[in-house]
Amino acid sequence: MTTLPPSDKALVPFVSVDHMMRLIHHIGVEEMMRGIAEYIEADFRRWENFDKTPRVASHSPVGVIELMPTSDGELYGFKYVNGHPKNTREGLQTVTAFGLLASVETGYPVLLSEMTMLTALRTAATSAMVAKYLAPEGAHTMAMIGNGAQSEFQTLAMKAICGLKTVRLYDIDPTATAKAARNLASQGIEVVSCNSPEEAIEGAQILTTCTADKQYATILTDNMVGSGVHINAIGGDCPGKTELAAAILHRSDIFVEYPPQTRIEGEIQQLAPDHPVIEMWQVIAGKVPGRTSDRQITLFDSVGFAIEDFSALRYVRDQLMTTGFYHALDLLADPDDPRDLFGMLQRAAPVVA
């Protein structure tokens, strides 16, 4: 008997890197980040419905491998993600990721997807969705300090969602700035390459920091931050890695995703464990105010949370049937009789000629 094709139940839609890039081009990168931001906003609004667990991390001297699970009671999702800063020296990505959605009702996976690209989009979409609530009215210029893999996505998400007109780029490595400027040249936004962080923040209402070194660094010093700005701090995202002078934190109202995680991983690891923070979901749900004055410094201490990945995977899943950018993966054994796994194996035996 020859091997029968696997049944529908056994097949899991899989979005490869190639399919993800096709999907992004099909939808448009800005439109897709706008769509993902809407899903994230909707999921933040129903924050209390989610199972929230801190990441499950496996640390080694050179990096970390994490699983980030969550569930809303209907869907279960998790992301696999590594963080290996030394990888770039070997021509590898610091961060790679993939993710999965499953049905809570059956436990069967319903989507497996690359998430290196998708995480870049969801991180930028989250920043811009938050800036929509916290940035000062009419903000049009962003300083983008750190011009690595996330910088173009941050810029275009702020353009698509917050109406950003100008980005001022700075990186300690001028080739990174040149790379970002080149990539953003034809994207309908004014790009100014700067030679110092001080130059980058001139006239900017939004200050985004996104640098990569795993250390306590001071990318922004206290005297650089004037009143009324919104700080979007992306790069301080693991224990021992921060980007802002502590004095800035003391002058800011601090907004976070999930306090138990941010206190370990975010900028606020520099502060007392009971330093007041505002949960971003409460702002979005209308339970607490966001920005309350045009002199206030707002700080989004972003570390990335499992619900944002869940939202991004939900968004991708909802595009699959209309776009077809996936293929079916034979991931699950599905015998006709569930008690007869061995019979399924026997029937798949090669024919002896």
Residue 78 sits in the site that holds a copy of itself (CB under 8 A): yes
Stretch that binds a copy of itself, among 162-170, 238-246, 270-278, 343-351 (CB under 8 A): 343-351
How far apart are CB 258 and a copy of itself at their closest, in Å?
16
How far apart are CB 211 and a copy of itself at their closest, in Å?
11
Please state, in angstroms and as integers, the Cα–Cα distance from residue 40 to each residue in 129, 174, 230, 279, following that order. 8, 34, 20, 14
- Residue 237 is among the residues annotated as catalytic for this protein: yes
208 within 8 A of 232, measured Cβ to Cβ: yes
How far apart are CB 29 and a copy of itself at their closest, in Å?
7
Q: Name which of 53 and 282 has its Cβ closer to a copy of itself.
A: 53
Please state, in angstroms and as integers, the Cα–Cα distance from residue 81 to each residue in 54, 62, 275, following that order. 14, 14, 29
Give CA–CA dist 114/245, Å, rounded: 35
232 within 8 A of 131, measured Cβ to Cβ: yes
- The token duo for 94 is 């610091």
Task: Please tell me what DSSP assigns to residue 188.
Answer: S
- The token duo for 229 is 């700005």
Q: Name which of 157 and 245 has its Cβ closer to a copy of itself.
A: 157
Q: Name which of 226 and 260 has its Cβ closer to a copy of itself.
A: 260
How far apart are CB 342 and a copy of itself at their closest, in Å?
4
209 within 8 A of 235, measured Cβ to Cβ: yes
Residue 196 sits in the site that holds a copy of itself (CB under 8 A): no
Q: Name which of 51 and 318 has its Cβ closer to a copy of itself.
A: 51
Among residues 43, 171, 237, 301, which one is catalytic? Answer: 237
For helices 306-323 and 116-134, angle between their N-to-C axes, nearest 10 degrees: 110
321 within 8 A of 111, measured Cβ to Cβ: no
Site for a copy of itself in 317-336 (CB under 8 A): 329-335
Q: Name which of 186 and 276 has its Cβ closer to a copy of itself.
A: 186
Give CA–CA dist 32/52, Å, rounded: 26
4 to 33: interface string for a copy of itself, x by CB under 8 A: --x--xx---x-xxx-xxx-xx---x----
The residue among 309, 280, 234 whose CA lies nearest residue 44 is 280
Stretch that binds a copy of itself, among 74-82, 222-230, 271-279, 306-314 (CB under 8 A): 74-82
Q: By CB under 8 A, how many residues form the interface with a copy of itself?
A: 86
Site for a copy of itself in 198-227 (CB under 8 A): none
Site for a copy of itself in 150-189 (CB under 8 A): 150-153, 176, 179-180, 182-183
Site for a copy of itself in 241-300 (CB under 8 A): none
One of 49, 93, 215, 221 touching a copy of itself (CB under 8 A): 93
Stretch that binds a copy of itself, among 39-47, 83-91, 233-241, 249-257 (CB under 8 A): 83-91
One of 46, 108, 221, 289 touching a copy of itself (CB under 8 A): 108
Task: Please tell me what DSSP assigns to residue 62.
Answer: T
DSSP 80-148: EEEE-GGGGGGTS-S--EEEEEEETTT--EEEEEE-HHHHHHHHHHHHHHHHHHHSPTT--EEEEE--S
Q: Name which of 94 and 218 has its Cβ closer to a copy of itself.
A: 94
Residues marked active site are found at 237
